[in-house]
Amino acid sequence: MLRDGDFGCPWDLKQTIASLAPYTLEETYEVIDAIEKQDMVELEDELGDLLFQVIFYAQIASEEGAFDFDDVARAITRKLIRRHPHVFPDGDVDQFGQRPDISADQVLVNWEAIKAEERAEKRQRGGQNNDTAPESVLDDVPKALPAMERARKLQKRAANHGFDWDNIQPVLAKLKEEIAEFEAAHAAGDIAARENEFGDILFAAVNLARHCQIEPEIALRGTNSRFAARFRWIEAALRGQQRSLADADLTELDALWEQAKEAGL
């Protein structure tokens, strides 16, 4: 109804698949925020907003003759059945009900192998092959992902093909190496090299997180929240003394920071 040419909403009628993308990203982050706050009422609301985005894309695509919401539902159903052969033997939902004899780790290994098969099939359907187009296992890692998440996915994809350390020690050593190279670039006053080396530090830190089964984006969001809570505590403590941040030097602010940490923030 919102997209109806005669009676619909002018704003909704103006939207395209491309114009909706920023709103989808915003709604996704709002879902994550509700999860982090453990607010189930807000989560229910935000999931509705996210579902609306999916339906909106499907409606526009349907108008363009590409696909509709039923196609989307069928596609994910096919994908889930194919990627869970331990739950749906031979890809048959009628065979559901057998207890899986497989570990969670092996599920992930199989999942990645099946995804690799799907990517190869997509390339064939798109007319690509080894004779006509260069191919990389990294090709379909989306470039539009946030940089930290893309770094994690690039590393994971490379690791699935053997390009990875088998323990954490060389990962830690690499991070220390990148920090030393940043220090050298900084000391030399090389601005371009300093930026490159800083990027390498972040990339190495993401790799460390991956090896420790830590989601770097979630870890950093947690640190952001702790920083904000401690800083607000400092502001409140100074207000209690009828003072502001400008009235305190860095030594005092640092001492208050430690007090905020001791307070459990």
The most confident of 99-113, 115-129, 169-183, by mean pLDDT: 169-183
Residue 129: the pLDDT is 53
Distance, in Å, from the CA atom of 89 to the CA atom of 100, rounded to the nearest integer, reads 10
| Longest distance between any two alpha carbons in the chain, whole Å | 74
- The yes or no reply on domain 10-125 and CATH 1.10.1740.110 is no
Residue 178: the pLDDT is 97
How is residue 165 written in tokens? 């350390």
Which is more confidently placed, 34 or 126?
A: 34
In contact, 123 and 135? CB cutoff 8 Å = yes
Which is more confidently placed, 194 or 100?
A: 194
**Total-model pTM:** 0.67
Residue 216: the pLDDT is 92
Q: For 41-66, write each residue's pLDDT tens digit.
A: 999 999 999 999 999 999 999 999 99
Residue 39: the pLDDT is 96
In the predicted model, is pLDDT for residue 102 greater than 80? yes
Chain-wide mean pLDDT for the chain? 91
Cα–Cα distances (Å) from 93 to 69, 86, 107, in that order, read 21, 11, 18
- The yes or no reply on domain 147-214 and CATH 1.20.1250.20 is no
Q: For 119-131, write each residue's pLDDT tens digit.
A: 777 777 765 555 5
